[in-house]
Amino acid sequence: MTTLAVVSAGLGQPSSTRLLADRLAEAAAGALQEGATVETVELRDHAHAMVDATLTGFPSGAFRSAVETVANADGLIAVTPVFNASYTGLFKTFFDVLERGSLEGTPVLLGATGGTARHSLAIDYAMRPLFAYLRASVVPTGVFAASADWGSAETALPERVARAGAELAALVEARPAPAKDDPYEAPVPFERLLAGN
């Protein structure tokens, strides 16, 4: 079964960021030929653990499970509110603590929320460069939802969500299954572990 991980960086509860994340996940899972299991990571629930992991270099407890969920997913949906013309610090901190290469080649769908459509370019000038650096495969359509998109029947939001979900599904289905390394086949010598190399 295909697994989609959803990272929601909304700070409130309820959150328009989580609402957008859920709609994107529903569209992507519905577009996959065999469906998908969707696992959502609410970053606000792991805020303290993320700071600890930044300082120690080791995620622990429930946060470690959240990191493994994202790293092992077949596809990722990442959604953040836009603050000060960019993603939130909480959003950036999560992706800072992931191990190098853990998102390489992973199909990713980007979404963002904000008060007005003036913030919509944050997906292209802030989020895309971050995921390009992480070597993820980002779908062409990013989805931005302003406050007005939630209350209007004339909004194009449902069409954008459906298009982006279909793009993610196509990328996930076209990607060959990644080979899983066996950590016991070539273990890292203990001296290298201690040296941090």
Rounded Cα distance, 68 and 195, in Å: 24
Tens digit of pLDDT at every position of the chain (197 positions): 899 999 999 988 888 999 999 999 999 999 998 889 999 999 999 999 999 999 998 899 999 999 999 999 999 999 999 988 899 999 999 999 999 999 999 999 999 999 888 888 999 999 999 999 999 999 999 999 998 888 776 778 999 999 999 999 999 999 876 566 666 677 777 787 777 65
Residue 116 neighbours by CB under 8 Å, 6+ apart: 146, 147, 148
Q: Quote the pTM value.
A: 0.87
Euclidean distance between CA atoms 119 and 82, whole angstroms: 7
Any idea what the Cα angle at residue 38 is, between residues 68 and 165, rounded to 5°? 115
How high is the pLDDT of residue 183? 60
d(CA 45, CA 43): 5
- d(CA 6, CA 15) in angstroms, rounded, equals 14
Give the torsion sign (CA, 147, 148, 150, 155).
Answer: negative
Spatial neighbors of 44 by CB under 8 A, at least 6 apart, are 9, 10, 11, 13, 90
pLDDT at position 120 is 87
- Single out the residue of 68, 73, 78 nearest to residue 43, CA to CA: 78
